[in-house]
């Protein structure tokens, strides 16, 4: 196990990364209990069915609420159910919450923790690759609404994150591949050597010996970006750079309907589109997108729309992106593999053309 720290002054917290962290998570539960704090657990229903012994060993008799798997759970209806559970359980202001699951459960549970009694302590125990390398770190929480993905939310930092590669053994292949989209993203935006290793090294799997090393590199990159720009306010890019491919990806999810694509699958298409747009803006050499497409396909990720989506609806969804500033949509693009930049004032006709090349309909 390795321990990293997200440096945020009084709100700094550790990231525990490794394989076999049951004892470390149990120790955190016992520390809270020793302080006479009352707690509860929110857990993804799919993970609860797949690994009941993991939950029993760590959490014992702590009250537990299962969250239905899938993007549809990031909703006000599920938030209300979570808050009713916290109320029925009697979680006080000094109570605590463990959130066990993938990005959906983490975002929903984190938002519940941020809003219950105006904020209680919570811990992230990510159970998918995507959540381990991205969504569990940094304190972004949120829900989806009809207007777009993650448009309702709050910044609420966890007390600790436990990224245990051992829990990925029961993760479906499609979910693991979706997580690899975020790993590839991190290589593209800030770690060119990681991208090269993903291209040239053995294909990663849940039981790969060097997977914890990859987890650590991703978590370290994410922690550094969050430390420098916790609330995504930097004029030079900062935390917004972590959204490489996401303006496109979120539009796909919103227009196709949440759940039609896994988040990582939509981001994969977005990464290729962002690379192509970087070429069109003369930031990257022509043909750079071929390397990105080849690596995405290596992990069985889509590189174009599975079926046509209306291009005007995709463009409209993009205009509601969180990176809009003063009415101007900004895209995260690449100046080189390993170096990202935020760019505005891009002609919509160029983006429309890329969408149509990716399979969007007029």
**Domains, the chain:** 2-170 (3.40.50.1970), 173-357 (1.20.1090.10)
| Catalytic-role residue among 156, 239, 289, 323 | 239
Average pLDDT of the residues in 253-264:
96
Confidence bin at 234 (pLDDT 50/70/90): confident
| Catalytic-role residue among 140, 185, 216, 323 | 140
Supply the mean pLDDT for the chain.
96
CA distance 212 to 223: 16
For residue 235, pLDDT over 80 is answered with no
Over residues 114-148, the pLDDT tens digits come to 999 999 999 999 999 999 999 999 999 999 999 88
Residue 348 known to be catalytic: no
Residue 80 known to be catalytic: no
Residue 289 known to be catalytic: no
Residue 246 known to be catalytic: yes
Residue 239 known to be catalytic: yes
Give the per-residue pLDDT at 27.
Answer: 98
Retrieve residue 346's tokens. Answer: 């891009």
Average pLDDT of the residues in 208-214:
95
Residue 216 known to be catalytic: no
Residue 308 sits at φ, ψ, to 5 deg, of -60, 140
Confidence bin at 325 (pLDDT 50/70/90): confident
Q: Looking at 68-77, 258-267, 315-324, which range is the least confident one?
A: 315-324
Give the per-residue pLDDT at 327.
Answer: 75
CA distance 297 to 306: 14
Which segments of the chain does DSSP mark as H helices, in order? 22-34, 45-50, 52-59, 76-89, 103-115, 129-130, 173-190, 192-200, 211-228, 246-256, 263-280, 288-298, 311-319, 348-357
| Catalytic-role residue among 64, 263, 289, 323 | 263
For residue 270, pLDDT over 80 is answered with yes
Going by their DSSP bridges, the two strands 39-44 and 64-67 should be labelled as parallel
Considering only CA atoms, which of 354, 358, 180, 188 is closest in space to residue 256? 358
| Catalytic-role residue among 250, 289, 323, 330 | 250
Confidence bin at 106 (pLDDT 50/70/90): very high
* Whole-number Cα distances in Å, 220 to 2, 76, 313: 11, 32, 36
Over residues 13-59, the pLDDT tens digits come to 999 999 999 999 999 999 999 999 999 999 999 999 999 999 999 99
Give the per-residue pLDDT at 47.
Answer: 97
Over residues 161-174, the pLDDT tens digits come to 999 999 999 999 99
Residue 140 known to be catalytic: yes
Q: In what order do the strands lie in the sheet with 2-6?
A: 2-6, 13-18, 161-164, 121-126, 96-101, 39-44, 64-67
Q: What is the DSSP string of 80-132?
A: HHHHHHHHHHT--TT-EEEEEESHHHHHHHHHHHHHGGG--EEEEEE-SHHII
Over residues 172-183, the pLDDT tens digits come to 999 999 999 999
| Catalytic-role residue among 232, 265, 289, 330 | 232
Global confidence as pTM: 0.95
Instruction: State the burial class of residue 287 (Cβ atoms within 10 Å of its Cβ: 0-12, 13-18, 19+).
Output: exposed
| Catalytic-role residue among 74, 156, 217, 222 | 222
């Amino acid at each position: 196990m390795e321990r990293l720290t997200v440096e945020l002054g009084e709100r700094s917290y550790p990231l525990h990364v490794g394989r076999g962290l049951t004892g470390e998570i149990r120790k955190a539960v016992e520390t809270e209990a020793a302080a006479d704090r009352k707690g509860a657990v929110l857990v993804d229903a799919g993970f609860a069915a797949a690994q009941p012994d993991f939950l029993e060993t760590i959490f014992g008799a702590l009250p537990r609420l299962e969250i239905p798997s899938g993007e549809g759970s990031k909703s006000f209806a599920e938030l209300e159910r979570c808050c009713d559970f916290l109320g029925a359980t009697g979680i006080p202001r000094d109570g605590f919450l463990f959130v066990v699951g993938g990005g959906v459960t983490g975002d929903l549970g984190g938002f519940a923790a941020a809003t219950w009694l105006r904020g209680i302590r919570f811990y992230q125990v990510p159970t998918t690759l995507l959540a381990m390398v991205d969504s569990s770190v940094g304190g972004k929480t949120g829900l989806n609404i009809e207007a777009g993905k993650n448009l309702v939310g709050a910044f609420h930092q966890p007390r600790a994150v436990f990224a245990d590669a051992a829990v990925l053994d029961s993760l479906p292949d499609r979910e693991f591949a979706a997580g690899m989209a975020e790993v590839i993203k991190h290589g593209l935006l800030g770690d060119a050597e990681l991208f090269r290793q993903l291209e040239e090294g053995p294909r990663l799997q849940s039981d790969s010996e060097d997977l914890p090393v990859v987890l650590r590199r991703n978590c370290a990159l994410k922690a550094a970006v969050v430390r420098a720009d916790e609330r995504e306010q930097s004029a030079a890019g900062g935390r917004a750079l972590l959204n490489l491919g996401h303006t496109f990806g979120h539009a796909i999810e919103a227009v196709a309907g949440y759940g039609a694509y896994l988040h990582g699958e939509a981001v994969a298409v977005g990464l290729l589109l962002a690379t192509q747009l970087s070429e069109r803006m003369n930031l990257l050499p022509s043909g750079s997108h071929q390397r990105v497409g080849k690596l995405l396909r290596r992990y069985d990720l889509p590189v174009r729309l599975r079926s046509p989506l209306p291009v005007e609806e995709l463009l409209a969804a993009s205009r509601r992106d969180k990176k809009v500033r003063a009415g101007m949509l900004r895209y995260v693009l690449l100046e080189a593999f390993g170096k990202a930049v935020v760019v505005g004032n891009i002609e919509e006709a160029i983006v429309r053309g890329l969408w149509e090349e990716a399979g969007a309909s007029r």
